[in-house]
């Protein structure tokens, strides 16, 4: 007898997380012997806790296909960490109540590091709490910090966006530098690991081109070294473009963005590594500068998504279902790199016990000895991940993104769960 599946998006969304959703749903529809309906959690795991389920069987094949070109989380995501079983396991009991009520036998969780841990715990419910369920983690994170997998779906598209943006802005600054802006700073995401900062470096094909300096969270901030390098680049090339991680920190691990600034109202000033660096350049070097903070633009930019990333995002969703119907519990499909040139990859499998709570850091040999750029080794790793374009359809000059019906599943538990 087929059982139903639960799918949820967790944590920060990406330009291609919905491609994983499409992979799960389309593949589940092909396995009717094992899987009945796919219920999505509205706003991630919260949808399961509050029995706010979405019946994806009400969506047309065309709409599910359109998830392939739609950024954001089509069912809503959540930043919500389940309380540990040591705190009474109240939430897990509730999940079982909801799963039982809707005959959910498969749990697909689409997220990053924290989510892998949640998925692991759910996968153990069968043993610990006697409810039979198969839980498979679907990897996703722009931070690219999941272990075992060669890359994390979502990262390649951000990488393509920041490298493209830096290349374009670099040409702009270069043409303005004679009489105006000499220094440009682009702040990118990646609070704990410099993967996105590193990807910004792909824009540069010769030393004269942007970016000339990268500031990684892995390399302790050194004001004098930075300013000296900016001066040198401007002297040598006429301008200087900088890619900076939002997570830049000093040698004591204090984030630069925790600046202690107060505004006119006495409020603490929030983050922004780029304006802080720009300010330094202006006041210490007396050079005109411009700065940009890409923020959500970078991880939502479906219009410039990496085709490779898109394909991998779909593939891990598809593989998750295939693993589940084979009865494999507590696993995560991974991307396995077979070769870099030409780029070839396949899907592998990792145990969730090996994934949960393990962070993959940038290897030190991906960063040049002086700490200011990426090495050829890093370039060879990153370059294939941004390969290929997959433009969304456009109408009246704008990308057309699908909005699902997101029809609710009738509640059955009659319990009102308080988060």
Q: Taking CB under 8 A as the rule, does residue 310 contact a second copy? A: no
Q: Which of 52, 117, 143, 309 is catalytic?
A: 143
- In angstroms, give the least distance from the CB of 159 to a second copy: 8
Examine the residue annotation and report whether 172 is marked as an active-site residue of this protein: no
Q: Taking CB under 8 A as the rule, does residue 56 contact a second copy? A: no
Please work out, in degrees rounded to the nearest 5, the angle formed at the alpha carbon of residue 245 by the alpha carbons of 241 and 247: 150
Total residue length of the chain: 419
- 229-232 LR contacts (CB < 8 Å, sep 24+): 229/372, 230/183, 230/281, 230/285, 230/287, 231/285
Q: Which two tokens stand for residue 356?
A: 């949960």
Q: Taking CB under 8 A as the rule, does residue 234 contact a second copy? A: no
Of these, 57, 126, 222, 259, which contacts a second copy (CB under 8 A)? 259
Pattern of binders to a second copy over 146-165, x per CB under 8 A?
Answer: --------------x--xxx
Of 145, 112, 105, nearest in space to 13 by CA: 112
- In angstroms, give the least distance from the CB of 130 to a second copy: 30
Q: In 10 A of CB 338, how many CB atoms?
A: 10
Footprint (CB under 8 A) of a second copy, residues 235-254 = none
Going through 296-364 in order, the beta strands assigned E by DSSP cover 331-339, 344-351
Nearer to a second copy, 132 or 393 (CB): 393
Distance CA 10, CA 5 (A): 16
Footprint (CB under 8 A) of a second copy, residues 313-372 = none
Footprint (CB under 8 A) of a second copy, residues 385-404 = 385-389, 391, 394, 396-399, 401
Burial 322-334 (b: 16+ CB within 10 A, else e): bbbbeeebbbbbb
Of 146, 103, 102, 105, nearest in space to 125 by CA: 105
Q: Are residues 342 and 56 in contact, defined by beta-carbon separation less than 8 angstroms?
A: no
Would you put residue 264 in left (φ > 0), alpha (ψ -120 to 50) or beta?
alpha
Q: What is residue 257's three-state secondary structure?
A: coil
Going through 114-191 in order, the beta strands assigned E by DSSP cover 134-139, 183-188
Provide Rg for the chain, Cα atoms.
23
Of these, 5, 74, 198, 356, which contacts a second copy (CB under 8 A)? 74
Nearer to a second copy, 70 or 113 (CB): 70
- In angstroms, give the least distance from the CB of 417 to a second copy: 15
Of these, 96, 138, 173, 324, which contacts a second copy (CB under 8 A)? 173
Nearer to a second copy, 27 or 50 (CB): 50
Footprint (CB under 8 A) of a second copy, residues 194-233 = 202-203
Contacts of 375 (CB under 8 A, 6+ apart): 365, 366, 367, 368
Footprint (CB under 8 A) of a second copy, residues 264-303 = 264-265, 267-272, 274-276, 278-280, 282-283, 290-297, 299-303
Q: Taking CB under 8 A as the rule, does residue 118 contact a second copy? A: no
Of these, 64, 78, 198, 320, which contacts a second copy (CB under 8 A)? 78
Nearer to a second copy, 86 or 263 (CB): 263
Nearer to a second copy, 179 or 339 (CB): 179
Number of residues that bind a second copy (CB under 8 A): 92
Q: What is residue 6's three-state secondary structure?
A: strand
Whether cis (ω within 30° of 0) applies to the bond prior to 196 is: no
- In angstroms, give the least distance from the CB of 62 to a second copy: 19
Q: Taking CB under 8 A as the rule, does residue 377 contact a second copy? A: no
Q: Taking CB under 8 A as the rule, does residue 408 contact a second copy? A: no
Q: Taking CB under 8 A as the rule, does residue 48 contact a second copy? A: no
Q: Taking CB under 8 A as the rule, does residue 9 contact a second copy? A: yes
Residues with a known catalytic role: 143
């Amino acid at each position: 007898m087929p059982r139903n599946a639960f799918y949820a998006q967790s944590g920060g969304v990406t330009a291609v997380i919905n491609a994983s959703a499409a992979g799960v749903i389309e593949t589940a529809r092909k396995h009717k012997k094992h899987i009945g309906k796919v219920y999505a959690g509205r706003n991630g795991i919260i949808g399961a806790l509050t029995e706010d389920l979405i019946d994806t069987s009400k969506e047309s094949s065309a709409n599910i296909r359109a998830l392939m070109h739609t950024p954001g989380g089509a069912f809503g995501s959540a930043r919500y960490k389940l309380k540990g079983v040591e705190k009474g396991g109240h939430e897990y009991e509730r999940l079982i109540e909801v799963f039982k009520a809707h005959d959910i036998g498969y749990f697909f969780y689409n997220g990053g590091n924290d989510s892998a841990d949640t998925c692991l715990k759910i996968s153990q419910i069968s043993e610990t709490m006697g409810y039979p369920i198969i839980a498979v983690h679907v990897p996703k994170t722009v931070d690219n910090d999941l272990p075992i997998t060669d890359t994390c779906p979502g990262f390649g598209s951000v990488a393509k966006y920041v490298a493209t943006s830096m290349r374009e802005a670099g040409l702009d600054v270069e043409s303005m530098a004679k009489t105006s802006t000499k220094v440009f700073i682009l702040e990118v995401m990646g609070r704990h690991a410099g993967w996105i900062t590193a990807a910004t470096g792909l824009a540069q094909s010769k030393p004269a081109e942007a970016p000339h300096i990268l500031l990684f969270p892995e390399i302790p901030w050194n004001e004098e070294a930075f300013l000296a390098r900016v001066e040198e680049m401007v002297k040598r090339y006429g301008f200087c473009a900088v890619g900076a991680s939002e997570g830049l920190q000093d040698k004591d691990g204090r984030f630069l963005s925790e600046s202690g600034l107060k505004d006119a109202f006495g409020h603490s000033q929030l983050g922004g590594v780029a304006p802080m660096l720009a300010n330094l350049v202006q006041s210490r070097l007396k050079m005109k500068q411009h700065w940009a903070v890409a923020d959500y633009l970078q991880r939502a930019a479906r219009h410039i998504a990496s085709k490779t990333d898109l394909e991998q995002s779909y593939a891990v969703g598809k593989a998750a279902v295939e693993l589940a119907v084979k009865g494999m519990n507590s696993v995560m499909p991974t991307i396995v790199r077979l070769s870099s040139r030409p780029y070839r990859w396949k899907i592998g499998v990792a145990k969730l016990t090996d994934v949960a709570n393990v962070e993959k850091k940038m290897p030190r040999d991906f960063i040049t000895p002086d700490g200011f750029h990426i090495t050829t080794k890093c370039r060879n790793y990153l370059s294939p991940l941004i390969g290929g374009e997959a433009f969304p359809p456009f109408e009246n000059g704008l990308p057309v993104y699908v909005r699902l019906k997101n029809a609710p599943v009738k509640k059955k538990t009659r319990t009102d769960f308080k988060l």
